[in-house]
Amino acid sequence: MGIVSPKKALAIAEEKELDLVEIAPQAKPPVCKIMDYGKYRYEQQKKEKALKKKQQTVSVKEVRYHPTTDTHDFDFKLRHARQFLLDGNKVKASVVFRGRQMAHQELGLELLQKLQDALDDIALVEKEANMEGRQMIAIFAPDKRKIKELAKKLSEDDEEEGEE
């Protein structure tokens, strides 16, 4: 419409039963737009909601061990860690030391190394094993590429069993 006085712009907006919205107040002269502001806000909120829906939240699941953890317990917790990674969550593996166990931190390191080797086919090491107080912590993140390859391999194996 070009440069119009504020009174005239407001009159035009009222005539069309719309709102006069100031878009760039710092410009010389200020820029305004005639629009249905309620409809505009509604569409903005809809877009924000859609973006939030598409966002993927990644949570960190924890698996706790002790230096004396036996093989069955290790395998049991390993299965849980694998499932957490396949679900798209990160896994925080911690080895908790009590009392005199602090003198044998190499046992915790071996345990976390064993866990890392077992999860190597679906996970990346996000944080190497290191001591934090009385705990040795390592963080594993799911590797999308490796998980896809594993799923593809498993589906091929299922097809071969179906043919027999």
Q: Pick one of 3.40.1590.10, 3.40.50.9100, 3.20.20.140, 3.10.20.80 as the CATH number of 6-54.
A: 3.10.20.80
Q: What value does the mean pLDDT take over residues 17-29?
A: 87
For the chain, what are the domain ranges? 6-54, 60-153
Q: Read off the pLDDT of residues 25-78 as tens digits, 9 standing for 90 and up.
A: 888 888 888 899 899 899 999 999 988 888 777 789 999 999 998 999 999 999
Q: Which residues contact 139 (CB under 8 A, 6 or more apart)?
A: 60, 90, 91, 92, 93, 125, 126, 127
Of the options 3.30.110.10, 3.30.420.40, 2.40.160.10, 3.65.10.10, the CATH number for the domain spanning 60-153: 3.30.110.10
Question: Are the beta carbons of 132 and 108 closer than 8 angstroms?
Answer: no
Mean pLDDT, range 106-115, rounded to an integer: 92
DSSP string, 75-126: HHHHHHHHHHHHTT-EEEEEEE--GGGGGGHHHHHHHHHHHHHHHTTTEEEE
Residue 164 predicted with pLDDT over 60: no
pLDDT at 3 over 80: yes
- The DSSP code for 134 is T
Question: Which helix or strand (DSSP H or E) is residue 32 part of?
Answer: strand 31-35
Nearest to 99 by CA among 126, 67, 125: 67
Q: Which phi and psi (to 5°) does residue 30 adopt?
A: -60, 145
Q: What is the pTM of this model?
A: 0.61
